[in-house]
């Protein structure tokens, strides 16, 4: 995810994006990275509280991972909406 974030930051300055577009892309990047960090913290906390395999813990971890995945898809859609006109003009 960090590699994709760096690519998006590069593209923000490569293409003539507006300040609003840069703000939207930055917000999307930070939202996904923040949710990923929350995911890691909750997973580590659950592993600490319940070291063995528990079905309830697995379900919670899956749901948290799904939240990150949904945010990632949303950010990808935002990126496509913003960058699509620039990419079309490049071709």
- Give the whole-angstrom CA distance, residue 19 versus residue 75: 17
Q: Are 75 and 46 in contact (CB under 8 A)?
A: no
pLDDT at 88: 93
The secondary structure of 52-85 as a DSSP string is S--HHHHHHHHHHHHHHHHHHHHHHHHHHHHHHH
pTM of the model: 0.87
pLDDT at 16: 94
Q: Which residues of the chain have pLDDT under 70?
A: none
pLDDT at 87: 92
- Kindly report the average pLDDT of the chain as a whole number: 94
For the stretch 57-67, pLDDT in tens is 999 999 999 99
The CATH number given to 2-90 is 1.10.287.3610
Cβ contacts of 42 within 8 Å, gap of 6 or more: 60, 61, 64
| Sequence ranges of the domains in the chain | 2-90
pLDDT at 56: 92
């Amino acid at each position: 995810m960090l590699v994709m974030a760096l690519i998006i930051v590069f593209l923000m300055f490569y293409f003539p994006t507006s300040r609003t577009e840069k703000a939207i892309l930055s917000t999307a990047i930070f939202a996904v990275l923040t949710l990923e960090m929350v995911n890691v913290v909750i997973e580590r906390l659950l592993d600490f509280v319940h070291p063995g395999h528990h079905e309830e813990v697995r379900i919670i971890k899956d749901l948290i991972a799904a939240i990150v995945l949904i945010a990632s898809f949303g950010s990808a859609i935002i990126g496509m909406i913003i960058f699509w006109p620039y990419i079309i003009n490049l071709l």
